[in-house]
Structure 1
């Protein structure tokens, strides 16, 4: 955690440390590693699915299973993660993002495991990963990829966590918001970078953030636009700015007909 980490993130990270300590007591790291060795299936290729969709001309959407957030409270009252995951798959999502933070985002690690059993799409564990234990935890629970947030971690941690994820055959979506964080992402060698258009210090969303940082992407990298995407027009503008995939949560979760909204965004 850096000195300029936003207060909301500091609060989340401080609680996350106690949560991880409790998880270690319940399931020691050695047991997690044994579970991983016993897994019968391999990760499904999160980044590969995004790249294949983008190359084919399909709008690559990472649709998010998300009940709420600290800034917005409960976003969807009738929240059924399995039903939502199924709707996403049936209506053209390329991959899914599953919130597993329980305290602040009303998610749960078990959602990941349950969704893994019910859909064939690759899954991102979206959480605040600050410890190697969580990366093993993600693999054991059925994740195909993890989110690393640059504003939560030092460069050495980003490099180490990225390397560990790759050892476990997990893809990494590395989230940035400004030029300094994009430089950090480039130093890790991560090929899948998410630009969060929402400023976590002010919660102001500016879709122009994606375009501003797109020029810093290394050759061959895939840029994922995150936050503030509400309509097809947004996707077209972000595509023109350099985005190759789109992580969308709140604008889907607020719709009564999630499938219809997803089809509109994809333009399917």
Structure 2
């Protein structure tokens, strides 16, 4: 069994417990559920750039950062030009929680991506209630029909969709309704990174779709390579979070890429 399969099994178990704790109708009554969402698609169209991520740990890297309060980090991301913020909300495998979004929502005025393993309709109402603007759909744990169904559900809640793919087979999950396509440079099954593989997949997508390079961007040369290949945005977390001051590291990197 792969790590992804283990995560999905546990996620489904978590959701069944959550449904008994707070129902969808209760989620609809929460303060952020009625807020007007920000558009990540529009943000990237206005200016290509980085979707900066707050992440404490991962199955492949273990503990990345001991920082508990995300606000100081994500506010720096916003201050120094991030086009959006990505926040992990999975607890067992990534050390995140919905509180990480709830705690920063009112202070952040750019789109927030809820990064989690979305496998049940309930999670979309939950994402809306916690103040997210965008949800991640991972092709590796969904069928093409589910991607279409969940995209329609997300849009009905004024949430945008970032579809993540990694293999040629997962190109079948693409449909023209998704807002952005993320191409993961890291294989979720063996966690190997291959930037050229991602470029090859990008070239098989429609030319007008906004593409996001995800994971495995560890240095300026990686960013430059992917930018020159036509990627519109770059989802980066570990590169910043492994430093004692992630916001400062983001400021430095932003200055470097501005000089390209």
Counterparts of 1:179 and 1:265 in 2: how far apart (Å)?
31
- Secondary structure, aligned partner of 2:109: coil
Q: CA deviation at 1:40?
A: 4.6
Secondary structure of the 1:236 match is helix
* Equivalent residues of 1:92, 1:262 under 8 A apart: no
The answer to whether the aligner puts 1:18 opposite 2:25 as a matched pair is no
Partner Cα separation in structure 2 for residue 40 and residue 12 of structure 1: 30
Question: Which of the numbers 30, 46, 53 marks the counterpart of 1:52?
Answer: 46
Quote the Cα distance in structure 2 between the aligned partners of 1:211 and 1:264.
26
Q: How many corresponding residue pairs?
A: 256
Aligned to 2:208: 220
- Alpha-carbon shift at residue 71 of structure 1 (Å): 1.4
Indicate conservation of the 8 Å contact 1:231/1:265, yes or no: no
Q: Which runs of structure 1 show a deviation greater than 2 angstroms over 4 or more consecutive aligned residues?
A: 33-36, 38-41, 256-261, 263-268
Equivalent residue, structure 1, for 2:2: 7
**Of 253-262 and 16-25, the range deviating more from structure 2:** 253-262
Matched, 1:250 2:238: yes
Q: TM-score, normalised by structure 1?
A: 0.91
**Matches for 1:80-159 after TM superposition, within 5 Å:** 80-159=69-148
Task: Report what 1:197 is aligned to.
Answer: 185
Please list every run of 5 or more consecutive structure 1 residues that lacks an aligned counterpart in the other structure: 1-5, 55-59
Indicate the SS of the match to 1:148: strand
**Aligned partners of 1:79, 1:130: CA distance in 2, in Å?**
27
1:30 corresponds in structure 2 to 25
132-141 vs 231-240, which moves further: 231-240
* Structure 1: distance between partners of 2:224 and 2:10: 38
Q: Deviations over 1:9-67 (max 9, x none)?
A: 1111111111101111111122223437x74520011211111112xxxxx10000100
Answer yes or no: is the 8 Å Cα contact 2:212–2:235 preserved in 1: yes
Per-residue CA distance 1:178-218 (angstroms, 9 max, x = gap): 11112321x35323000000011111111112211111121
Partners of 2:144 and 2:172 within 8 A in 1 = no
Correspondence 1:175 to 2:170: no
Equivalent-residue separation in structure 1 for 2:125 and 2:33 (angstroms): 12
CA distance in 2 between partners of 1:217 and 1:244 (Å): 13
1:219 positional shift: 3.1
User: Is 2:114–2:127's contact at 8 Å kept on the other side of the alignment?
Assistant: yes
CA distance in 2 between counterparts of 1:264 and 1:223 reads 24
Does 191-200 or 252-261 show the bigger shift?
252-261
SS at match of 2:92: coil
Which stretches in structure 2 are left out of the alignment for 5+ residues? none
